[in-house]
A and B are shown apart, each in its own frame.
Chain A
């Protein structure tokens, strides 16, 4: 297969909100941009969320236009379902080898009509805990607002019955598809490799993922999302509507036993947001948030927290030490609390559903692939964090979003602008056009 060649000014790695926004900010300035996303749709983690704090805007409503704008932008070349294989410095630019994974559906022909999905006889469930998109057919459009709206075949589970081929009105199904190599020649790279969340089984004391009614914040996002699995909030073990829900904060952050010393920055706000949404969805449910420090630091966040308090969400200071369950699989949390009279006590409280406010871990492996150094926390480390946060020690490589550490959406969008600016500055400089390497002030900085 002939290698497809693309020549751009900037390559953005990762199609989450930070990557999309960086691509848009660069594209709007007239630069040619290629955006490479590993998943079959762009949108990243944000598209999975229910609503966003503190405005409580529907998250899809904010993300989908961005996805759409990215996909339709004249200056943006979108490559989904693609992996970066290697990058080579080529003069002052880079030659990047990308593999387009086979969808087994010809992208140009597929109209996203889902006829194939309707006739496909097999359904596979994804990981039980990730009931985000619970189960899908073997051939499926990733989700209703996916961009691009194209089907993809889960080839490992396919029995090749051929029904989809018959059903497809545009003859787009092609089981002979091979990985396609793409070569991108670019003058700069922006890393928007994002984050992962703490695995649900990370902490033994919290049931090591074995307690069915202990779920992660991300799963709760799915339960609350309009596109969620049940369309309402039900607990996993028995489908009961939970009458009492507890949030365990810092379940993956600020905990040296997990090797994570940092604060994940978003968990307080997403827990409060979910609590507010839950009190709308389940007006009778009691919601408790067990926390160490409430960190509602952003614009409008503190007021959001106070509103939640006023709405009756219970905030209790104490780190949950252990979660067990009773015979009915009701989770029981054990925690030390200081009550309003100033008395301290250890208590066991039973809830119907416990949500672990899991933290943010670095995603991808930017160090190995792009040669950018990472800090002790695994996120990309930059030489001048304060003044040039988007500029890495590798000339021509920039970083944005949660690849630089935990951030919320606002900060990611700000960071995207910063990365776009830094990239533009670089592209306009003599370095970007291929004369001399950009020199960063060499100095050793002690981080924290």
Chain B
């Protein structure tokens, strides 16, 4: 923290412009959103009579250019030095109007925003008169605060031109690449021991029909070629300290146990006595405790599954000397970064036991498993076989784990059903249907769906092509999910799917099949730990929440932490890449200049009031945010509290304990609140609400 900034802070607080408040009050109709309920003209008129209010206007759109111009003109021409605006939510336009003030030459913090839309007109539409009165009181409170407001300067901090990308899937890789090419340092951490995430497990990606892994490989190669990117696989974030521009992140890396590659890898795997479910193939095959995640995985080479390894040492015997070290320990290190990209990805929905026959019948698999099954490098070498027999009849059931209905579907652990659409499963299923047709030209393929959501560019072509490929479509009613059951002993096909088909006027259709594929939806990867570390929050669908879906779709409420890819919600590869790039653009804009500006909402000590009681230091929960310093003046030494703004997050705990009222959080001062409370409770001058 450079000293001059602290001084500037202190100055800003200590020497407010000593001038009479001249307050400009503006009431926005919001194109009727507010104006239809609240009589904005009357609000402005009434407020105009309050002391210190120089102008009071109402306008159709305050946020529009003419609206903003009106404010700027008043500042310049009428000497307005405080602005109070009643408009939509503070989260939408506080910044907009601050910039207006700034452009007009006024300190942007001499502004107070009253939410008249979300908190008045939209919730009191039945009582317009009371809503108008409430608007007046809320605005009057704003005016009261404005009278006491002081100009503030943002805290300017140096920032590391270094970003941390968490997650080495396609979104993380894409973000890292963009950031690095922009000239920023990037640290990429990936929990597993290989890069590529879920995309590596796909057989093919739509809408280009490219094979997934070669496409991914090209991206990984580009990432590896960037000198600015440092990659840590097997690594997880263990903790973080700091703030935007200046995070110190602790990373814990699991060892691979194997150093590099060597020729006899297969032999090493063969001797390992431990057999485990292979996650890469979604359990369709097994692997050893020393294994290669998949054939062309990056980084190459074997990995030890520490959880299941018994350290029997068989592999060490077979491997070349020194290549395997079973005693390797996890280690921790820290990186200093300016911003964090969360690209933590998704996991496929795991159906409940018995949900459409899942786990109850071995012939029921999920769509990700089908990807593995049809993959030439998959457990059946790409042959469409199940249990050793060619699959001749297959049904793909859509919306398993998506678009769930309360009361029809079983809820997750948190009591909620997945009522969202997972976006990718329709086209993914359709593309798989065409792939099945290629592999098994005579197979009977059924797609059992609610709505076909082939929304994206070229997606509809998959639907058309599946139809032309003689895939039979059946449409089920949301309330009546298809039933999967065991066929008779003698039946040719092991399973029966029963659907009430909307397209066949509600007829009940029975389909004998060899394999049922559940098109499972997406769920976010469990990242509770990261949410706690970075203080980001999930939405009601459990995916990480953006600030505003339209205005700021990749940013979180925490400055310096952005979202990329499916951590935020279901997306396909193209959308993940676009989102990841957008996240990179935001990070670049934030830290590219090697400095970050922060809101000045930090604790401030009034040295005249402070008696050096030290109460504040005792309660401060932040490290090195406030301390007692000894000063000497005129031969008298005394102690005063001093704040380090970069470390203070403005929690205000110190404010409430100060016996001398010497402390305040800048911008949110206690005396301002007292004035606001008084203003709301006070009588309204010349209020003619009854008229």
Cβ contact within 8 Å between B577 and A389:
yes
CB < 8 Å neighbour of A413 from B451, B550, B568: B550
- B589's partner among A28, A144, A261, A344 (CB-CB below 8 A) is A28
Which chain A residues (100-146) contact chain B, with CB distance < 8 Å? 112, 144-146
A51-92 contacts to B (CB < 8 Å): 52, 54-55, 57-58, 60-62, 64-69, 71-72
Please, which residues of chain A bring their CB within 8 A of the CB of B462? 448
A145→B65 contact, CB < 8 A? yes
Of A175-183, A200-208, A322-330, A422-430, the one touching chain B: A422-430
By the criterion of a CB under 8 Å from any partner CB, how many residues of chain A are at the interface?
87
Q: Is there contact, CB below 8 Å, between A145 and B66? A: yes
A28 CB contacts on chain B under 8 angstroms:
589
Q: Assess whether B631 is interfacial by the CB under 8 Å rule.
A: no
Chain B, 497-523, contact with A by CB distance < 8 Å: what is the 0/1 string?
000101101110000000000000000
Q: Is A295 an interface residue (CB 8 A)?
A: yes
Q: Which residues of A contact B135 (CB under 8 A)?
A: none
A124→B159 CA distance, assembly (Å) = 56
- The interface stretch among B320-328, B415-423, B642-650 is B415-423
A302: CB under 8 A from chain B?
A: yes
Determine which of A68, A418, A441 lies in contact with B64 in the assembled complex, contact meaning CB atoms within 8 Å.
Answer: A68
Q: Which of B113-157 contact A (CB under 8 A)?
A: none
In the bound complex, do residue B33 and residue A303 qualify as a contact, i.e. CB atoms below 8 Å apart?
A: no
Residues of B within 8 A of A377 (CB): 457
> Residues of B contacting A441 with CB < 8 Å?
218
Q: Is the CB of A446 within 8 A of B209?
A: yes
For chain B, residues 22 to 73, give those with C-beta under 8 angstroms from any C-beta of chain A. Answer: 30-33, 60-61, 63-66, 68-69
Contact A64 B64 (CB under 8 A): yes
A39 CB–B CB distance under 8 Å: no
A302 CB contacts on chain B under 8 angstroms: 402-403, 419-421
- Find A262's partner among B457, B500, B583 (CB 8 Å cutoff): B457
In the complex, B411 has a CB within 8 A of chain A? no
Are A386 and B210 closer than 8 Å at their CB atoms?
A: yes
A185 to B548, CA, bound (A): 36
| Interface residue? B597 (CB, 8 A) | no
Q: Is the beta-carbon distance between B65 and A148 smaller than 8 angstroms?
A: yes
Task: Decide yes or no: A414 and B60 within 8 Å by CB, A67-B65, A425-B182 being known contacts.
Answer: no
Mark contacts of B189-211 with chain A using CB atoms, 8 A cut-off: 1 yes-contact digit, 0 otherwise: 00000000000000001111110
In the complex, what distance in Å separates the CA atom of A424 from the CA atom of B184?
12
- State whether A386 and B181 are in contact (beta carbons under 8 Å apart), knowing that A25-B589, A146-B65, A448-B206 are contacts in the complex: no
**In the complex, are the beta carbons of B30 and A387 less than 8 A apart?**
no
- The number of chain B residues touching the other chain, given as a range, is 35 or more
By a CB distance below 8 angstroms, the chain A residues around B494 are none
> Which residues on the B side are within 8 Å of A60 (C-beta)?
31, 61, 63-64
Within 8 A of B (CB), among A251-278: 254, 261-263, 265
B589 engages A297 (CB within 8 Å): no
Residue B458 is within 8 A (CB to CB) of chain A in the complex: yes
Known: A389-B577, A414-B579. A299 touches B458 (CB 8 A): no
Q: How far is the CA of A243 from the CA of B659 in the complex (A)?
A: 66
Secondary structure at the A interface, as helix, strand, loop or mixed, is loop
Chain B 627-653 interface 0/1 with A at a Cβ cutoff of 8 Å (1 = within)? 000000000000000000000000000
Let me know if B460 and A263 touch, CB within 8 A.
yes
- A410 CB–B CB distance under 8 Å: yes
Nearest-neighbor residue (CB-CB) of B214 within chain A: A443
Q: Does B265 contact A (CB under 8 A)?
A: no
Shortest CB-to-CB span from A380 to chain B, Å, is 10
A338 touches B209 (CB 8 A): no
Contact partners of A341 in chain B: CB under 8 A: 506
Tell me whether A157 is interfacial, beta carbon within 8 Å: no
Residue contact B582 to A418, C-beta cutoff 8 Å: yes
A163-171, A191-199, A349-357, A401-409: which lies at the B interface?
Answer: A401-409
On chain A, the residues within 8 Å of B583 by CB distance are 417
The stretch of B92-100, B275-283, B365-373, B528-536 in contact with A is: B92-100
Instruction: Please give the distance in Å from A55's CB to the nearest CB on chain B.
Output: 6
Let me know if A372 is at the binding interface, CB within 8 A.
no
A306 to B408, CA, bound (A): 14
Asked if B363 is an interface residue, CB under 8 A from chain A, the answer is no
Q: Is A149 within 8 A of B549, CB to CB?
A: no
Question: Are A418's CB and B421's CB within 8 A?
Answer: no
**Is the C-beta of A435 less than 8 angstroms from some C-beta in chain B?**
no
Question: With A145-B64, A303-B419, A447-B208 given, is the CB distance from A413 to B178 under 8 Å?
Answer: no
Out of A62, A306, A390, A446, which one reaches B581, CB within 8 Å? A390
CB of B185 within 8 A of chain A?
no
- Residue on A nearest B170 in the bound complex, by CB: A387
Q: Which residue of B lies closest to A114 (CB)?
A: B66
Across-interface contacts of A417 in B (CB, < 8 A) = 554, 578-579, 581-586
Select one of A68, A297, A428 contacting B421, CB under 8 A. Answer: A297
Kindly state whether residue A8 has any CB partner on chain B within 8 Å: no
Q: Is B543 interfacial (CB 8 A cutoff)? A: yes
- CB within 8 Å of A: which of B472-512? 500, 502-503, 505-507
Complex CA distance for A67 and B68, rounded to whole angstroms: 12
Task: Convert A336-363 into 0s and 1s, putting 1 for each residue whose CB lies closer than 8 angstroms to a CB of B.
Answer: 0010011110000000000000000000
Known: A227-B31, A425-B182. A145 touches B61 (CB 8 A): yes
Q: Is A415 an interface residue (CB 8 A)?
A: yes
Contact, CB under 8 Å: B88 / A293: no
Q: Which residue of A lies closest to B216 (CB)?
A: A387
A201 → chain B closest CB, angstroms:
24
A sample of 13 inter-chain contacts (CB < 8 A) reads A29-B182, A57-B88, A57-B550, A69-B99, A227-B60, A375-B458, A377-B457, A389-B574, A413-B582, A414-B578, A422-B178, A445-B208, A448-B207
Given contact pairs A29-B585, A68-B63, a sample of 14 additional A-B residue pairs in the complex whose CB atoms are under 8 Å apart? A28-B589, A54-B549, A58-B30, A61-B30, A72-B99, A144-B66, A145-B64, A263-B459, A263-B460, A338-B502, A342-B507, A344-B505, A418-B585, A448-B207
Give A residues with C-beta under 8 Å from B: 25, 28-30, 52, 54-55, 57-58, 60-62, 64-69, 71-72, 112, 144-149, 225-227, 254, 261-263, 265, 293-303, 306, 317, 338, 341-344, 375, 377, 379, 385-390, 404-406, 409-411, 413-422, 424-425, 428-429, 441, 445-448
